[in-house]
Every structure is written in structure tokens, then in C-alpha cells.
Structure 1
Amino acid sequence: MKNRLYVFTPLFLIFFLFSSYEPTREVADKNEVLVRLIMQSLDQGHFQNKSVDDQFSNSVFNDYVEQIDFNKKFLTQEDMNVLGAFRDQIDDQVNKGSLEFFYRSEEIVTKRISEIAEFYKEILSKPFDFTKKENIEFDVEKIEFPANSKELKETWRKYLKYRTLVRLADAIKIQETRKEKGEKIEVKSFKALEEKARKDVLESHDEWFNRMFKLEQDDWLSIYLNTITATYDPHTNYLPPRDKENFDIAMAGQLEGIGARLMDKDGYVTVSEIVPGSACWKQGDLSVGDKILKVGQGDEEPLDIVNMRTDYAVKFIRGKKGTEVRLTVQKLDGSNMVIPIIRDVVVIKETYAKSAIIDGTGYIKLPKFYANFQDLEGRRCAVDVQKEIERLKEENVNGLVLDLRDNGGGSLQDVVEMAGLFIEKGPIVQVKGKRGEPRVFEDRDPDVLYDGPLVIMVNSYSASASEILAAAMQDYDRAVILGSSPATFGKGTVQRPFNLDGFISEDYADIKPLGAIKLTLQKFYRINGGATQLKGVKPDIILPDTRSYLDIGEKEQDHPIPWDEIEPLKFRKWEKSIPDIDNLREKSIVRTTDNETFELIDESARIYKERQKDTRFSLNLKEYQDKAAGIEKVASKYRNILKEVPGIKISRTVFDQNLIDGDSLALKDANRWYASIRKDVYVHEAVNIVNDMK
């Protein structure tokens, strides 16, 4: 358990890094050099061999058009006919360092933006007729590009009418709610509310177009280059100099803000991860999958960020510690919620492993696989989990639950050492690069710290290192894997960023900085030979979850690296066999079927799935209000379904009690955590399964 392990950069790539690409002065155009460098990096360094051919060209073409016009509001079919001539030529162009397709597309889309800027104000200058029966469709698969400029204007009329309708309906609802509460307010007429809604939409689009006109060619080029890299896999990215700086800051953990990772999805800034210990993690209302519609600074009028690029939107979401940001989000059930968050730095201690005793069973929560690579004496999760187990053993617990839900991964070294706490020596994971034999990472310490019943909890956001540990324990028959999704996330690849400036000599300093490229270099394989990539880990027992029927995980990304398998390793399964899994599963099904909370969770999950299919919205005010009221009524039924489990006994170890005694802040944090556990039906079912295993 003491051996130090690392995932090494393959030797061929190290050689490649020092084999600088030297452009001749005749071709030393910065953009051309950039394209050549990126294509060379992908060809020589990326894990996956990919043919740069007509199929590649078509893929880049389709993805790039989707990137620059995801909702078909800018390009017309006439434009697509012009761009379509390049559909099979992109491969030939990038191989030569040519950007002909890119330059032509940039010219067309910027021209259309200027055209739209001429008529959107005209559309918003007159009141809309919200009694008219008409609809707008938001599923891009169900709509076509506008045929010409005339149809483009009609597309924008409907879109601007919808944005106005949303604001108008919100204003009417707020006014009626305040009147019902007996507040003294100035009651505004429908005409005034409609005019204010149009004005707000106008101002938000004025701001949006101002930003669009400030975009430089490098901004558009970044989108194009990232489309190219993304055809290799979704985790390979080009980072222009500005984004590389933001990436470096994020890796250093120096940002102050709400503590959520965000992504662009269908025109919305969408939450992709909640950072443990962050402001929004502590606040509790923001969830993965939430679409952020507006951002307000304290009591100020919120800014509409629909259709805003994420890298720009974060400027309004970030802020100094102690300031308030109010996010208006659309939840998975279609309802809207205003979430006030006091910005803060991530509280690192909240990411550390911590334990509790639940009805005699030891429970360890591990939010991430942390390690301090700059300080070899710093905190590491494998060491911390070992200490928590030792403390729980002193309390004579009857079993152990290790909670890896929402754990996105981290240190591979600590995964291997942590697995060694539960088994005798043996292999834990295989790591394979583009060339050569897989490297086997194994635990070489024959000692077993804990040999009792073990349940590992995972969900659809358990990824990477979490999947490696769960897979190894499953392959050894060492633990029951308890999940709240059909499989874990399925990210089984390794990335590393490389500074592109290091690829060319100092003689070409005038074209620097070039930015960086983050390449997928290696792939994880279970000891049974199967990859964790794409398929993830299938739990032994699956519980209902609000996201059970939603499409989540690596398999939903564009161009994921496929699943495959290599030769399995020889290993000896755990001698103390787990009780019959089928029997444990049947007992769990009986309990959860009779549990009202799990029934409500399953109901809400089915509703969320159906809501995803609802992509058509009425532009008639009454119909829109009726639909919104229906969504809110259903959402309210499931909003607070987690209730304290009666009769549950939670206690702390003697060590933790001694730490908390006399520390009011530590006691407050501990009590808040225990309160959340009391409402966590998944943890209680994990404890039940431990009891069934005895």
C-alpha cells in the first residue's frame, strides 16, 4: 500500500514534444502553423488512430455547423448550399494547413449576424399578439434551416416573441403573487408589462449583439479547431491562450465563485459538475443538468444569459468571496427556480474523506480522489480513508459503506493504494497507451486492513478513478456495488495538456502564444480485460433515482472513444465470498418497492424523461401560462420528497468527537452533514444491504 505509482507520458510522445515542428517563413502564417501543429499532435499523440478522410471531413462539417448555429437561427439553406461544397474537402485542407472552409464560413455567419442585427430591433418595436394560436419548436432535429432571408426573419420573430412571452408571464405571476400576499405595490397594466418585457428582451439582445460584433477571428477559429479535436474524442481540446490561462487558474484552485463547472448545451449555460466544498455545494439547490437562464448580482435586475457563450457567462457568475449571485435556473422537471448563492472559495476540507456510524455500520464519504502532488507530505485520500477505517474498526462496526457518488475521480495512485486496503496483493487496473503493452498497476502489500462486509455506492456521475476502484472490487468479488443508475459515467481515458509554444523554436516568437492542446493519451482497462470507457461499471444492485431514465454519461458525448477489451490478468478472487447477489438484490427490491420515498423518486424520474420529449411551446399567453402552472404543480409534489428516516441512529467516532468538542463551527458542519444523511434513503439502503451480508 506504500508504493508510489504514476501514469507516465508515453515515450513516443515525449520524443514528439522535443521534435519541434519548424515552419518555413513562406508558410509561417500563425493560423496555418496552428492547424498543422494541431493535426500533427492528433496524429502522433492521440490514443486513437483516425483517418483524416472524407468521413472525417463530413463529421467536422456537421459538428462545426452545429457549433456556430446550433438552433438554426443564423444560417439559411442558401448558406448551407454554399458551405456544402466544402463538405468533402476539409480533410484535404487541414492536411495542407489550409483554412479555406473556415474563412468562408466565418464570412457567411458574420454577415448573417449583421443582417439580423438590422431587423431584431424592428421586430421588438411593436407589441406582440399573444392571443394568436402559434407554436415554436426547440428540437433542432425537427426543424430545418430557414430557406432564405425572409424565412430567417420569421424565425427570429417567433424566437423574440417567445423570449418576450417568458418574461411577460414571469412578470404577471410575480405581480399576482405579491398582490395575493397583500403587499403594497404599483399594479401595472398588461400593456405596461408587455412593453417592459419587450424592452428587457431588446436590451439583452443589444448586449448579445455587441458581444458578437466584438468577437475576433481568433474566437471563431477556436470554435473550428475545437470541432476538429472533438472528432477524436470529447476530452481532447484546443485551448487558445486566454482559455489556457483560465485552465491553469482552475487547476490551481484559485478561483472564487459558486464552485460549479459549466458547459454549453443547446444554447444554455448548463451545470456539468458541482465541486465538493464549494458555495453552491453547500447551498444545495443547484444540480447537475440545471440550465442557467439569468444571472443577478444581489438585488439587481438579472441578466438574461440564454444563448450566451459559457466562457463569457462565467464573467457574471464569478465574483469576490462574500458577494451574492442569484441564478434563475430551469430544473430537469421544466420548472424555474431562483437560487441565491454567496460566492466563496472552495472549502478544501469538505473534499476530504469523513466518516460516521449509522446503526452500527461504518460509513465513509469520499467526494474526490484528492492528492497533493506538489507536497509529498500533503493530504492524500488513500491515507485518509485508511485512518477513517482504523477509527471505525475501533468502534467495532459490523460493516462498511464507501460512498463514491458524484466522485469524478482524481489520483490513480490513491485508487491503487485504497483498493489494497480491502484485498491481498494483486493487480488493480491496466493502463494502455497508443503503442506497446498495457502497464499494470497493482497493490503489492499483502496486508488487508478491512476484511468485513463492504458496499460501494456509485451513481451516473461517479467517473474515472471511482470507476476503477468499483470495477476492481467487483472483479475481485470483494464488494457489492450499489448504484442509482444503470451504469457509472464511463470515462475511462487519460488526458494531458501540452503547450504548443514548445513545439516551435524561438525564431518564431512573433507567432506566439499559440495556446495548448489537451490530448487523450491512454485508456483504462479492468483487470478482467474490459475497458471502463463508455460502459462504465454496472452496479450489482440498482436503486431508483430521479435521473434513472435520462441519457447521462460518456456514451451521450459526441465521438466517444469506443469500448473494447484486452487480455485479462491473472488474479485471485476474494476468499470470503459475498453472499448470493441475487438474494441481496431481491431483498433490496422488496424494501424499496414498499418505500414511499423511492416510489416518489421513480415517479419523478419518469416525469423528467417525458418532459425531455416536450420541445414544442405555445406562443399564446394563456396556453403558455396553463402549461407553466401544470409544470410547477407537478414539480412542487416532488421538490421535497426526501424526508428524515425515522428511528435511524447516527454517531461519530471517538476521534471525531474529540475534534468537535469545543469547536462550535466544526459541530455545526458535522450536524449539517448528519442531517443530510438522515434524509439520504440511499445510504440507509446501503446499511440494510450490509446487514443482509452478515
Structure 2
Amino acid sequence: MKTRYIIPLLAITLLFSNTIFSNTISEKDPEKDRVIIYVLKNILSRYHYVQKELNDDFSEHVYNTFIDGLDPSKRYFTQEDLKEFSQFKYQIDNQLKDTKIDFYKLVYNRFLKKLGTAKNNYRSLLTHSFNYKKNEVIDVDYEKIPFAKNESELIDYWRKQLKLSILSRIEDAENQQKEKLKKDKAFKKKTFSELEKEARKEVLKNMNELYERIDELENSDWYSTFLNSIVSGFGPHTTYMSPRIKSRFDQEMSGKLEGIGARLQKKGIYTHIVELISGGPAWKQGELEPDDIILKVAQGDAEPLDIVGMRLDDAIKFIKGKKGTVVRLTVKKKIDGSTKIIPITRDVVELDETFVKSSIVEKNGKKYGVIDLPRFYIDFNDLSRRDAAKDMEKEIERLKSENVKGLIVDLRDNGGGSLKTAIEIGGLFIKKGPIVQVKYRDEEPVIKNDTDSKIQWNGPLVVMVNEFSASASEIFAAAMQDYKRGVIIGGKQTYGKGTVQNVLPINRFYEQYPSDLGALKMTIQKFYRINGGSTQIEGVYSDISLPTRYSYMKFGERDLDGALPWDKVQQAKYSALNSYSNYRDVVYSSQQRVLGDEKFNKINEYAKWLKKNQEERVYSLNYNAYKKESKVKVKEAEQFKDIFKFDSNLTFNSPKYELNLFSKDTVLKEKRIVWHKNLKKDIYLNEALNVLSELKMSKNYTIVKQ
């Protein structure tokens, strides 16, 4: 991947430096926004998987996407504004060619003005009570309702949205009062007027907090929205990442960061500690606690910087830092309100929820291993560090040492990650051979092989998926299905993201630029199974389909605007494994068990009910009518309240190596206790274990030619 881009990157860098940048390099303050636009359009036109003409259709896409991105709930712009904006509706493509951003400037400046008007609107509206006897409705399907005709109608939009929020709170408060009255006959109920006043006050508080966060956003944040309106025209997974977002992306991919190991949250003007990451520097230091407030930050022995009122992202920049450096935090302690200076030496912090973990369960006298893989993680900046493939290999070895007879690999909610690790993990279950095919624009597909003949696990294998299993998860599941190496069980089909994105730092194309321009995550390839079919749109269909709450929802790649279509290429040369002597019998047995299971049938009914509710977007704003509608829905929901209540009566335990860690790491122990309780109550995992326990490896383990 890296070598492929050396020559084109050099060529495009020279091209850029000989054009507009020759006029801006000497300037003290180059037009950064225009620079990014110019670079983006050239990268996209040259390297994106889809060739896209910048024409009127593209212009219309940017126009609609940017306006919707700023105002998704129709709270700011009116049709009068849109009439003025529309002068650019079919001109944005021409402006982009000339590296102009007049459309952005007009809409953005109008948006800032509208934000100020919005604050006045909601504050004014919430100073007095609404008419809750009036027969009127609100449609919250904001994709379909038109923008307000004028400012007067816009205020009415605001009134209805605020009124709906208040109605919901009043109803909740009345229900809470009824419950308290059941327990305490002496409890004094508040009047409707009192509850309404409190609800209005709470809505005002929430709105003020929302706009405090909005006020913290800068031009660069809104400009990122505009840039994403442009790049999304090439596909739903092509995005511009600002330097801050790129940093978060790297952190998620590697599962680690350098800092103090604490999760922070902005509450009002203060930065609060939400959680300490187990094993991190703050956790080891021992003085920082959840709900403590950070008032000041000092680097080593330098003067402290007051961060009260500072936006959270900026505060985090000062608190994070390189491994081995010291940060001194001036903290207001929750426990007694005292102020204390706490020095912490920063270190690499590993986010354990990102990493592989396993559990052992005994069923019918045999042990089975459950491996949870939340992401195909890797640190591209340091390939010597841990990654998903290395951790999986190690975890399987540990489970083998405890004599497990079968493995479940849980990929539910795994949105993907590194293709490299997906290929290597696939190789842990086969001797060698193709795992996936990848294809660049206008080129023949390239087959990616597992070249290591070692098999880490040659016993029964079940792979769990759901509608959120995507990308690299689908590559692994598809390979196991095509080789007939494992049984795929879960939702009807996985997400269906069969495209490959590469992250390109924009400064690589213009190295002279003094500040960080961010990065472009761009679709450069498509995935294809070794059987030739794409995972795009279709995803992977489960061998054993289990009903889920999402079974009838509009969900997945197939429901995204601009998603690439499904297609196929030539099948790779591979041989399916005759792994199981009773594969068809086990699958059929499970299907019959699910069809006859009362719980699964109820979940299927629940999924249909959710779909129906998803399509009902109109609410009454007459309080009595609102309560009647709500009661009907509550009554309908009542029949589903216990559908996910389940107890397998199985006991899940950590592998032995992890038990030895618990004496030193009580946080890890508590997390595993919670996880194991959830596994015990997991009806989907229970059926996966049923399947696993029934699978019998073929005595010959022969190879069947395709």
C-alpha cells in the first residue's frame, strides 16, 4: 500500500507547488481554507475509487448536504435564506474548480447570525407557559418537512419543538409521582402548573448547555462540515478529518494514547474526571478520582494554566503529552471540596475495552472458549506493538492450554479496522491460502493470502456477527464461511461495507505549509470474497439467522446515499475444507430450535413493532391526546419488556492468566465480573454455544475442490 503511493504523491506535490502555492508560500498568512479545497479536489480526482465529475449534480449534493449538516432539525434557515443561497446551487462545482468558497462564506456567516437569533427565540419562548389544550401536532421527520417559510413560521417551529420536550418531561414527572404515591400515601403531588414550570426550567437549562457547547466550536469545525459535504459526494465513507479528529482516529485504531489515562467531560465551565482507565498513570498514582474537577494544568515546573471555561478539546491538549513528561493538575476534590496539586507522569495508556478478551464456559462436561474481538486494531506508527492478530494468537494459545474443545469468536458490533490484521487472524484457522481480494479503480483484483502454514486453532469454530459487524469483520467472517471453516451465526446479514479507505495526511501533498491541514480518509479499493462476490451492500449472510431488534429496520450500507453497488470478480483459487462431519445437521437443528423458541419469536415481533414506530413521526401537542398516544405505546411496549430477560444457567470464568492479575487490578476484575454476568444472560451466545457443542470435526479433514 505504501509503495504504491510514492511516485504519485511526489508528482502531485510538485504539481501543486508549481501552481497556486507558488503565490501563497511567501505570504505570512496563506488562505488555509482555499489550500485544503485545492488539495482535496486533486487527491480525490486522481486516487478515489470512484471517478466523479464536478458538475451540477455534484454541486447540488454539496449544497444540500452542507445546509442539512448545519441545520438538520430545520431550526435556523428559512425558505427566504434558501432563496438567497440557491444562487450557488449549481455553481459550487465551478467555484471548487477555481478554489473559491463564496458559498461557504455566505451560508456560514448567515448561520452564525441565526445561532444568535435562535438563543433569543428559545429563551423568549420558555419564559411563559404554552397552551397545552390546543389541538396541534408536530412532525419530527426533519428529512421530509420543508424549511419554515419565514422568521415567523420558524419561531413556530421552535415553539413546537420546545413544547414537545416539555410535554415529555411533564409526563415523566407525573408517572414518577404516581409511583411515589403508591409507596407513600402521604406523598404530596405537585400540580400540573408546578410540573410544567419545572419542565420548562429543565428544558431551558438543557438548551443553554447545548448552546454553550455550540459556542465553543470554531470556524475550523464548521469548515470541516463543509469539506465533508464536498468529499461525501464521492462516497459515504470518504471524509475529511481535522487534526483533532485525526488524532482521535489514530487513538481508536491503535487502542492506545499517551497521557494520564482519564476520561474527561465538560460540565458547565468545568472539566470533570469521568473515569480512570485501569492501569493508566492516574490510576497508578492514586490521588485523582471520578468527579474531581481540574482547575489548572502545568507542564512540569512551569506556571499553571487556568482551564476553567476552556473548551474540552483544548483542555485535553494541555493534559495529554508524551510518555515520561510530568503534568501537574490543580484539582478540586469532590470528596471534601479541597484544592490539591496532583503531579502525574504521563505514559502510554492502553484502552482495554479495545482489545481481545476471552472467557471459558463449561457445557455438558466440556470447556469452550469465547473470544471477544471488538476491533481489528493495530498501531501503524509502531508495528512492533500489540495488535489484534498477535493478541488473538496469544489468546487462543492460552485457551488451548486450558483444554477448551471449541471456540466462539464474537464479532458483534465490530466495525472493522485493519485489513492486515483481518488477513492474519483468518490465517490462524487455515493452513494457507487466499483470505480476500482487493481491487483498485480500473485494475484487476489482487488476492491477499495467508502465507503462514501454521494453524493456531483446528477445532470447532463459531463466528458471531450482527448488523453492526462491518468491513474487516466481514472479510474474516466471509473467509471462514467460504472455506466452510466456521459456522456464521447472528443477524440476517452483516453491515455490508465492502470498501477500503486509506488515510492520507494533507500536508504530505504540500510539505511547506506550516500548520497541520488534517487528513483525508478516502475510498481507494473494494473488497471481494474469495468466492468472487463483493461484501459491499450484501455483507455476509449468516448460516444461522437469529432475529434481532434491527431485523426490519433500514440499516446498513444499502441504506446510505451514494453507496457503491454490489458486483463480483473472478473467484480466487481455493479449496473449501471438509471441516465438519455434521455441518448441515447442526445448522438445520439450530434453525428449527430458533423457529420453535418463544423468546426468539417474541424478539421477531418486537423488531416489527420497532419498525412500525420508526415510521410514526407525528406527535400530538395537546397534552391529553399526547398522553393517550403515549399510553398506547407504553401498553404495546409492555408485552416486550421481558423479551431479553434470559439466564443460560452457565458459569463464565476468566482464563487462569487473567485471574492472577485481579489481585493487583481490581478495576479489571470488576469489569470482567460484569462481562461474565452479561454473557450468562446472552440468548444469542447461548445458541452459539449450542451449535458449537454439537459440531463434530470430520475424521478425514479432507479438502473438497471448488
TM class by shorter-chain length?
A: 0.7 to 0.9
Contact 1:366 1:407 in 2 (8 A): no
**Distance in 2 between residues matched to 1:554 and 1:529, nearest whole Å:** 19
Q: In the superposition, relative to structure 1, how do residues 391 and 109 fare at CA in structure 2: closer, same or farther (>3 Å)?
A: closer
Q: 1:628 aligns with which of 627, 630, 633?
A: 630
Q: 1:15 aligns with which of 10, 20, 30?
A: 10
Match of 1:130 in 2: 132
Q: In the superposition, relative to structure 1, how do residues 478 and 312 fare at CA in structure 2: closer, same or farther (>3 Å)?
A: farther
TM-score under structure 1 normalisation? Answer: 0.78
Tell me the amino acid that sits aligned with residue 54 of structure 1.
Answer: D
Contact 2:534 2:567 in 1 (8 A): yes
Match of 2:358 in 1: 354
Contact 2:492 2:547 in 1 (8 A): no
Q: In the superposition, relative to structure 1, how do residues 640 and 8 fare at CA in structure 2: closer, same or farther (>3 Å)?
A: farther
Q: In the superposition, relative to structure 1, how do residues 610 and 576 fare at CA in structure 2: closer, same or farther (>3 Å)?
A: same
Matched, 1:400 2:407: yes
Match of 1:301 in 2: none
**Residue 530 of structure 1: how far off its partner (Å):** 2.1
Match of 1:331 in 2: none
Q: 2:176 aligns with which of 152, 174, 177?
A: 174
- Partner SS for 1:491: coil
Q: In the superposition, relative to structure 1, how do residues 387 and 206 fare at CA in structure 2: closer, same or farther (>3 Å)?
A: closer
Match of 2:498 in 1: 492
* 1:395-474 alignment runs, 5 A limit: 397-434=404-441, 436-474=443-481
**Residue 217 of structure 1: how far off its partner (Å):** 4.1
Match of 1:39 in 2: 41
Q: In the superposition, relative to structure 1, how do residues 193 and 393 fare at CA in structure 2: closer, same or farther (>3 Å)?
A: closer
Contact 1:494 1:521 in 2 (8 A): yes
**Residue 503 of structure 1: how far off its partner (Å):** 2.8
Match of 1:569 in 2: 572
Q: In the superposition, relative to structure 1, how do residues 186 and 414 fare at CA in structure 2: closer, same or farther (>3 Å)?
A: same
Q: 2:600 aligns with which of 598, 601, 626?
A: 598
Q: 1:105 aligns with which of 98, 104, 107?
A: 107
- Partner SS for 1:409: coil
Tell me the amino acid that sits aligned with residue 563 of structure 2.
Answer: P
**Distance in 2 between residues matched to 1:440 and 1:239, nearest whole Å:** 30
* 1:139-538 alignment runs, 5 A limit: 139-182=141-184, 187-209=189-211, 216-247=218-249, 252-253=256-257, 347-348=351-352, 351-359=355-363, 360=366, 362-367=368-373, 368-373=375-380, 378-393=385-400, 397-434=404-441, 436-483=443-490, 485-504=491-510, 506=512, 509=514, 512-538=515-541
Q: In the superposition, relative to structure 1, how do residues 569 and 157 fare at CA in structure 2: closer, same or farther (>3 Å)?
A: same
**Distance in 1 between residues matched to 2:251 and 2:456, nearest whole Å:** 38
Structure 2 unaligned runs (5+)?
A: 25-29, 266-274, 280-289, 293-309, 320-328, 335-348, 697-706
Q: In the superposition, relative to structure 1, how do residues 111 and 370 fare at CA in structure 2: closer, same or farther (>3 Å)?
A: closer
Contact 1:20 1:505 in 2 (8 A): no
Match of 1:540 in 2: 543
TM-score under structure 2 normalisation? Answer: 0.77
**Residue 686 of structure 1: how far off its partner (Å):** 1.7
Contact 2:278 2:668 in 1 (8 A): no
Deviates more, 1:47-56 or 1:428-437: 428-437
Q: In the superposition, relative to structure 1, how do residues 214 and 549 fare at CA in structure 2: closer, same or farther (>3 Å)?
A: same
Contact 1:355 1:388 in 2 (8 A): no
**Residue 436 of structure 1: how far off its partner (Å):** 4.3
Question: Which protein, 1 or 2, shows the higher relative CO under an 8 Å CA cutoff with sep ≥ 6?
Answer: 1
**Residue 92 of structure 1: how far off its partner (Å):** 1.0
- Partner SS for 2:576: coil
Contact 1:257 1:317 in 2 (8 A): no
**Distance in 2 between residues matched to 1:216 and 1:422, nearest whole Å:** 49
**Distance in 1 between residues matched to 2:570 and 2:33, nearest whole Å:** 43
Identity level (%): 36
Tell me the amino acid that sits aligned with residue 546 of structure 1.
Answer: R
Match of 1:307 in 2: none
Matched, 1:690 2:692: yes
Q: In the superposition, relative to structure 1, how do residues 375 and 40 fare at CA in structure 2: closer, same or farther (>3 Å)?
A: closer
- Number of aligned positions between the proteins: 622
Contact 1:456 1:480 in 2 (8 A): yes
**Distance in 2 between residues matched to 1:590 and 1:366, nearest whole Å:** 27
Match of 1:611 in 2: 613
**Residue 130 of structure 1: how far off its partner (Å):** 0.8
Matched, 1:79 2:81: yes
**Distance in 1 between residues matched to 2:313 and 2:185, nearest whole Å:** 35
**Residue 423 of structure 1: how far off its partner (Å):** 1.9
